[in-house]
A and B are shown apart, each in its own frame.
Chain A
Amino acid sequence: MASLEFLVIIALLGGVLAYLVGKLSKVVGASLTVLVSGFIFVSVAYFGLNGSLDASITYLPFVSFEATDLYLGTSFGILVTFIFFMVSFFNPYFVDKFKYPSLYSMFYLFSLAGVLGVFFTDDFLVLFFFFELVVWTSLFLIPLGKSKKAASWYYGFSAFGSFSLLFAIFVMRNTAGSFNINDGLSMVGGSDQILVFILLMVAAFAKLGAFPLHIWLPKVLGNSPDPVTSVFSGGLEKLGAFVAVMGLVKLAPVGPVIEAIDMALGQYLIAILGALTIVFGTLMAIRQDDAKKLIAYSSMSNGGYILVALTLLNDTSVSGALYHVLIHALASTAAFLAIGAVNRQTGTTKMSELGGMIHKMPVTYIVYLIAIISMAGIPPMGGFVSKWLIFQSVINEGMILIAIATFFGSIGSFLYVFRPLAALFLGQELPEFRKVIKEAPFFMLLPMIILSGLNIFTGVHPSVILQYINNVLAELGVTELGITTWTLSGNNGDLYPALIAVVFGVGVVIAFIIFIVLKKSRKVDLMDTYTAGNFVYTEELLHYSVDFYAPIERLYEKHINIMKDFYKGIAKKVQEFGSFVKYFFFTNKPEITVLWVVIVLGILLLWGDLL
C-alpha cells in the first residue's frame, strides 16, 4: 500500500540526499537517482496497476491526491516514471562531464517528484504547483549542455504555457467554485468555455512543442545533455499530452459543429495545427545535420500525431493517440539513448563526422534500428499499430487534408529517420575512431535493450496495453476499442499484429539464410570511388549522410525560420518598447517628474470631468 504522498516525499528527499552524496562523489550521487527512480517506478507500476495506490495525506497539508478510478493519470504516471527510471541508468556515466554534477542529480529527482504530483491529483491548484515545479527544476538541467540561451527560450515558452493554464484554472474555479479538475472542466460553459479551451490548448502546445510554440523544442533537445534530452522527449513532453487530453477530450467540444465532418470548429482548428506540426517537423528534420536535432524534430512531428488523433474523439483515434503517446515515448527515448551512447564514445553527434559505428557498437545499432522502425511505423514495431489506429480514424472522419498531412509525415519519417542510422552506424569505419571506440558499458545497454524489447512487444501483442487504455477511454467517456486477445477491430476490418510479426520474422530468417549462403561483399577502401567511369566532383556527393536531400531542401530553404524570426521579432519589440519608455521617463534632469505630474494631473482633471 504505497501512498503517493510518501513517494513524492521520497523523490524530494532523495533529491536532497543525491545532492549531499553528490558532493562526496559524483557517480554515487548519480547512481542514487537510479535507485530512487527505480523504487518509485516499481511501486507506482505495481500498486497503480492493481489500483491500490492510497491517497491519504499526512505531511503535505495543501496537497490532495486521488488514485482510485484515475486510469488516465496512472497510465501517464507509469509511463513517465518508467522513462525516468530507464534514463537514470545513463546518469552515472554522463554526470562527471557536467559543471554542477550534484545539482544535476538533485534537480533530476525534483522533476520526477513534480511529474508524480501532476498525474495523480484531482485538484487543479496541486496540478499547477507540480507543473511549475517540473518547469523550473528541468530549467536548470538544460544549461549543463552546450547552449545557455536555450534555457531562457524554454522558460519563456513553458512559463507562457503554464500561466495560461493557471488563468484557465481560475476561470474554471469561478464557475465550479472549487479547484476540482473533473467538475471544473465539466461545469464551465459559454464564453468562459472557449477561453478555457484556448488557454488549455496554449498550455498543451507550449509543453508539447507543437506548431505555433515549437521554437524551443529543437533548441533544447538539440543542445542539452543526452540524459536530459531523453527525459524531455520521453517524459516531460507527455505533460503537454496530458493537458491536451484534458483540453480536447474532458472538456466538451467548443464552437459550432461543422456539418461536413461533424466536428466542432475548435477541434478542427487544433487538428489543422496538429497537421501543420507534423508537416513542419518533418520538413525541418529532413535538413538537419545533427542527429539529436533530427530526432528532436521527429518527436515534434509525433506530438502533432497525438494532437490530430485526440481531436477526432472516436474510439480508434483516442486509443490510437494514447497508444502513440506510449510508443513515441519508448521509441524516442531509445533513439536518444542510442545517440547518447554514440555521443559519449565519440563526443559528437554530427552525422557528417561519424560513420561505421556498427563494427564496434553492434548492440546500440540494433537498439537504434528497432527504435526508428517503430518511429517510422513499420509493422512488427508498436509504431505501426498506433499509426494504423490514427490513420483509420482520420480517413474514416473524412478529413482529407489532414490525412494527407499525416501520410506525408509518416513517409517523411522514412526519409529522415534512416539517415542517422546510415550516417552513424553503417558505412566505412572512420580511421580516427577505430581504436578509440568500444561498445557502451553494460549498464548503459540494459535500458536500451529493455526499451527495444518493449518496442517489439508493443508491436507484436498490443492488446494487453490496449486493454488498459480501454479503461482510460471508459473513464474519459469515449466508446471503447474492440479488442480480442490477438486482434484489434478498426472501422473497416481487424488487425492481427501477432500474425504480421510472425510473417516478418519468417521473412527476416529467410533473408538471413540467403545472406549467409551467398558470396560476401568485398571490403573497399573509402577513397576509390565506385561510380562507373566519370569523375566525381565532390566525394560527399553520394555520401548518404551529408545533405542527401539537398534538392528537397532547396524548395523551402528560404523560409525556414519564419516562426523563429517571428518570436525574435517579438523579443525585439519588447526591447524597443523598454528603451523607448526609458528614454521618455528616465533622464537625469529633475523636470521630467514635474512634467509628468502636470500632464497626468491635467489629463485626469479634464477626463474625470471634475470641472
Chain B
Amino acid sequence: MKNFLSLVLVLALGGMIILSLQNNQYFTAYGEVDITKRVSESYIDRDVNGGTQAVEFGVANNLESGPANIVTAIVADYRSFDTLGEVTVLFVSSLGVALLLASGKQKRLDLHFHPNFMLRVGSRALFGIILMTGIFVIVHGHLTPGGGFPGGTMIASSILLLYLADDNFRTKVKSFKTLESIAGSLYVIIGLVGLFAFDYFLVNFLDNGILGELFSAGIVPIVYALIGLKVGSEISGIIDNFLTEEVA
C-alpha cells in the first residue's frame, strides 16, 4: 500500500513538472530549439574570440579551437576545466574504493568458477583487439565520436576480460597507480604551462592545424590521450578492488 501511495505521489510530481515546463513560454519544446539564441552557436562557428574564418572541413587552417568533433572541442578546449574536475572525481572515487575495500594484503576472490584452457588462450587474443579499439577511440577523439573517457574504459574492459578469463590473474596495481599519477600530473602541468607561458590556464598553445587532419587541434589529442590512460588505470584499479578480498 505504501509503495502504491508513493508511486502515485511521485508520478503526480512528475506530471506537475511536465505541466509546468509546458506552460512555461521560455522552455522551448522538444526539437524546436534555436541554436542561435544559445551559447553553443559560437562553439560551432568557432568565433568565441572573434575568429572570422569559415569553418570548412579539410580547408580551415588554425581555427580558434581545432577539433572537428565539436563535443570534444567543448569538453577538451572551451570547457577544459570541467574535464579536469571530472578526472578528479574519478580519481577520488577510485581512491575511496581502494581505501574502503583494499586496506590490507589482497588476494583474488574465489568465485568457484575455473575457466578451462580454451577460454584462457582465446581471451588473450581478444584482449589485443579490445585494447587496440580503445587506443583507436582515444587517438581519434578529436575527429570521431568517443575520446578519453570511452577509450579509457575500453582499455579497462580489456583488462576486465583478462580478470574474468583467468581466475588468478592480477594486474600490477602499483604500476597502474604510477601511470595514473603521471598522466594526471602531466595534464595539470600542461595546464600550468599554459598559465605561466601563455597567461591562461589550460590554453591550447599548440598550432591547431587543418580541421579534420589527424595531427590537428593542438593539445586536445594529447590531453585526451592522458585522460584515456588515467581513466583506464583508475577503472582497472576499481575492478581489481572489487574482484579481490582481504587475505584472511
Q: Which residue of B lies closest to A598 (CB)?
A: B13
Q: Does A562 contact B (CB under 8 A)?
A: no
Are the CB atoms of A598 and B16 closer together than 8 Å? no
- B9 at interface (Cβ–Cβ under 8 A)? yes
Whether B12 and A602, one on each chain, are in contact in the complex, defined by CB atoms closer than 8 angstroms, is yes
B17 CB contacts on chain A under 8 angstroms? 601, 605
Identify which of residues 564-611 in chain A touch chain B, using a CB-to-CB cut-off of 8 Å. 595, 598-599, 601-602, 605-606, 610-611
A interface, over-half SS: helix
Residues of A within 8 A of B12 (CB): 602
Expressed in whole angstroms, the Cα–Cα distance for A573 and B20 within the complex equals 41
Q: How far is the CB of A133 from chain B (nearest CB, A)?
A: 48
Question: Contact check: which of B9, B13, B19 meets A611 at CB < 8 Å?
Answer: B19
Q: Are the C-beta atoms of B9 and A598 separated by less than 8 Å?
A: yes
Please give, as numbers and ranges, the residues of chain A lying within 8 Å of B16 by CB-CB distance: 602, 605-606, 611
Q: In the complex, what residues of B have CB within 8 A of residue A599's CB? A: 9
Within the complex, the shortest CB–CB distance from B66 to chain A, in Å, comes to 43
State the interface size on chain A (CB cutoff 8 A): 9
| Complex: A610 Cα to B9 Cα, angstroms | 18
Q: Are B20 and A601 in contact, CB atoms less than 8 angstroms apart?
A: no
Is B23 on the interface with A (CB-CB < 8 A)? yes
Chain A residues with Cβ below 8 Å from B10 are 598
Q: Are B9 and A602 in contact, CB atoms less than 8 angstroms apart? A: yes
Which A residues lie within 8 Å of B9 (CB)? Answer: 598-599, 602
What string of 1s and 0s marks CB contacts (under 8 Å) between B19-49 and chain A? 1100100000000000000000000000000
With both chains docked as a complex, state the minimum distance between the C-beta of A502 and any C-beta of chain B, in angstroms.
90
Nearest CB of B to A441, in Å: 70
How far is it, in angstroms, between the C-alpha of A610 and the C-alpha of B17 when the chains are bound?
9
With A and B bound together, what is the CA distance between A601 and B23 in angstroms?
A: 17
Interfacial chain A residues near B23, Cβ < 8 Å: 610-611
Q: Is the CB of B19 within 8 A of A601?
A: no
Q: From B20, which residue of chain A is reached at the shortest CB distance?
A: A610
Complex: chain A residue closest to B16, CB-CB: A605
A606: chain B residues at CB < 8 Å are: 16
Chain B residue numbers with a CB within 8 Å of A605 are 13, 16-17, 20
Give the residues from 176 to 224 in chain B that come closer than 8 angstroms, CB to CB, to chain A.
Answer: none
Give Cα A602–Cα B9 distance, bound, in whole angstroms. 9
Cα-based distance from A212 to B160 in the complex (angstroms) = 76
Q: Closest chain B residue to A609 by CB distance? A: B20
- CB B2 to nearest CB in A, in angstroms, measures 10
**Interface hits, A222-273 → B, CB 8 Å:** none
- On whether the beta carbons of B13 and A602 are closer than 8 Å, the reply is yes
In the bound complex, residues from chain B placing their C-beta under 8 Å from that of A602 are 9, 12-13, 16
Smallest Cβ distance from B17 to chain A, in angstroms? 7
Residue of B nearest to A591 (CB): B6
- Can you name the residue of chain B whose Cβ is closest to the Cβ of A604? B16
Residue in chain B with minimal CB distance to A599: B9
Measured in the bound complex, the distance between the Cα atoms of B13 and A599 in whole Å is 9
Whole-angstrom CA separation of A611 from B19 in the bound complex: 6
List B contacts of A595 (CB < 8 A): 6
Query: Which residues of A sit under 8 angstroms from B20, Cβ to Cβ?
Result: 605, 610-611
B221 to chain A, nearest CB (A): 42
Q: How far is the CB of B38 from chain A (nearest CB, A)?
A: 24
Complex Cα–Cα for A569 and B13 (A): 41
How far in angstroms is the closest Cβ of chain B from A610? Answer: 5
- Residue ID in chain A nearest B19 by CB atoms: A611
With A and B bound together, what is the CA distance between A606 and B13 in angstroms? 10
CB distance from A43 to the nearest CB of B (A): 66
A206-223 to B contact mask, C-beta < 8 Å, 1/0: 000000000000000000
Q: Which residue in chain B gives the minimum CB-CB distance to A610?
A: B20
Bound form: Cα–Cα A602–B23 in Å: 17
Chain A residues, CB < 8 A from B13: 598, 601-602, 605
A602 to B10 CA separation, bound complex (whole angstroms): 9
User: B residues within 8 A CB of A601?
Assistant: 13, 17
Chain A residues with CB under 8 Å of B19's CB are 611
Closest to B9 in A: A598
0/1 interface trace, chain B 124-148, chain A, CB 8 Å (1 if under): 0000000000000000000000000
Please name the residue on chain A nearest to B12 by beta carbon. A602
- With the chains together, A524 CA to B138 CA distance in Å? 114
Interface core residue of A598, A601, A611 (most chain B CB under 10 Å):
A611
Chain B min CB distance to A490 (Å): 76
**What is the minimal beta-carbon distance from B20 to any residue of chain A, in angstroms?**
5
Give Cα distance in the complex from A602 to B13, angstroms.
Answer: 6
CB-nearest residue of chain B to A611:
B19
- Expressed in whole angstroms, the Cα–Cα distance for A465 and B135 within the complex equals 101
Name which of A598, A601, A606 has the most chain B CB atoms within 10 A of its CB: A598
Closest residue of chain A to B18, judged by CB? A611
CB-CB < 8 A to A611: which residues of B? 16, 19-20, 23
**A contact residues around B6 at 8 Å (CB):** 595
Assembled-state Cα–Cα distance A278/B199 (Å): 80
Q: Which of B13, B19, B23 has the most CB of A within 10 A?
A: B13
| 22 A–B pairs (Cβ distance < 8 Å), ordered by A | A595-B6, A598-B9, A598-B10, A598-B13, A599-B9, A601-B13, A601-B17, A602-B9, A602-B12, A602-B13, A602-B16, A605-B13, A605-B16, A605-B17, A605-B20, A606-B16, A610-B20, A610-B23, A611-B16, A611-B19, A611-B20, A611-B23
- B residues touching A (Cβ–Cβ < 8 Å)? 6, 9-10, 12-13, 16-17, 19-20, 23
Contacts A602-B16, A606-B16, A610-B23 known; list 7 others, CB within 8 Å. Answer: A598-B10, A598-B13, A602-B12, A605-B13, A605-B17, A611-B16, A611-B20
CB-CB nearest 10 A-B residue pairs: A605-B16, A610-B20, A611-B19, A602-B13, A598-B13, A611-B20, A601-B13, A605-B20, A598-B9, A611-B23
